[in-house]
């Protein structure tokens, strides 16, 4: 299935991907920031793990994969300089997992996964993750190690672990203007099944969803229902 035009970002307005900034790129990002101040879209993407052979990819350097342990938090904080220890600890306590790529005793790439319920600050809602699904968020590769196939290799490893555990689908949310992330996930095999829409208003905000034919999206839970969702749930970064 290929995403239709309304669920396929054109990339005309896009958030910065961290590469060298040009005037055109700056204007694109400025436009994206202006639009998303009042209107935000998050694309719902999915990759089936059911009865498929997941391809194995190898990085061009010798990396090893695993899950973040409590005694690895210092290494993670060296890798993600803007991360907060309290957030990492809460995620682990909540049962979220962080799949990491190690190179010479340092973390160079990571991605978090969660099941159950996740908070998505970008659209001020909780996402109820369907049974059998696993939600991936906050994926990041250290700038000096990009372009070496680490993301694809770690992503394949993560998918194979989830498949072995009996999970049937990997899902992700990506801001419509986060064109680079959408393109990477699409090339990794994820399909865009629809989008959540959010318009900021002085009170509650307006929400609706659009889908590709034959698909449905998991429900969004209002932030005021936090008590039902459970205290301490930590969510994705705002532009995942």
Listed residue (84, 94, 82) closest to 119, CA to CA:
94
Per-residue pLDDT tens over the stretch 58-85? 999 999 999 999 999 999 999 999 999 9
Q: Give domain status of residue 237, yes or no.
A: no
**pLDDT of amino acid 232:** 40
Higher pLDDT, 128 or 240: 128
- 183: in domain: yes
- Asked whether residue 238 is domain-assigned, the answer is no
Taking alpha carbons only, the member of 214, 239, 235, 209 closest to residue 223 is 235
Identify whether 177 is part of a domain. Answer: yes
225 pLDDT exceeds 70?
no
Q: How far is CA 146 from CA 8, 105, 198, in A?
A: 25, 18, 32
Tell me: pLDDT of 238 over 60: no
In whole angstroms, what separates CA 118 from the centre of its chain?
11
Q: What is the pLDDT of residue 172?
A: 97
How far is residue 126's CA from residue 119's CA, in Å, rounded to a whole number?
4
In a domain, 92, yes or no: yes
Helix (H, G, I), strand (E, B) or coil at 75: helix
Which among 45, 20, 33 is positioned nearest to 177, based on CA atoms? 33
Q: What is the number of domains present in the chain?
A: 1
Calpha distance 223→117 (Å, rounded): 12
pLDDT band at 229; cut points 50, 70, 90: very low
- Domain holding 210: CATH number? 3.40.630.30
Residue 236 lies in a domain: no
d(CA 2, CA 149): 25
Model confidence pTM above 0.85: yes
Residues spanned by the domain of 177: 5-229
Q: Is residue 10 part of a domain?
A: yes
Q: Is residue 240 part of a domain?
A: no
């Amino acid at each position: 299935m290929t995403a239709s035009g309304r669920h396929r970002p054109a990339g005309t307005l896009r958030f910065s991907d961290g590469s060298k900034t040009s005037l055109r790129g700056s204007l694109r990002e400025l436009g994206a920031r202006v639009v998303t101040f009042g209107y935000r879209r998050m694309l719902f993407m999915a990759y089936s793990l059911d009865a498929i052979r997941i391809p194995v990819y190898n990085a061009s350097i010798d990396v090893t994969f695993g899950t973040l342990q409590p005694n690895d938090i210092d290494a993670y904080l060296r890798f993600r300089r803007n991360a907060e220890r309290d957030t990492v600890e809460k995620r682990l306590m909540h049962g979220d997992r962080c799949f990491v790529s190690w190179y010479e005793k340092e973390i160079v790439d990571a991605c978090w996964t969660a099941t159950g319920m996740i908070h998505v600050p970008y659209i001020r809602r909780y996402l109820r993750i369907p049974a059998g699904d696993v939600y991936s968020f906050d994926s990041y590769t250290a700038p000096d190690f990009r372009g070496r196939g680490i993301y694809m290799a770690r992503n394949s490893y993560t998918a194979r672990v989830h498949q072995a555990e009996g999970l049937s689908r990997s899902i992700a949310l990506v801001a419509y203007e986060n064109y680079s992330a959408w393109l990477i996930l699409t090339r990794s095999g994820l399909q865009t099944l629809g989008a959540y829409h959010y318009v900021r208003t002085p009170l509650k905000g307006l929400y609706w969803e659009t889908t590709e034919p034959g698909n449905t999206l998991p429900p969004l839970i209002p932030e005021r229902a936090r008590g039902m969702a459970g205290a301490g749930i930590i969510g994705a970064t705002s532009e995942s």
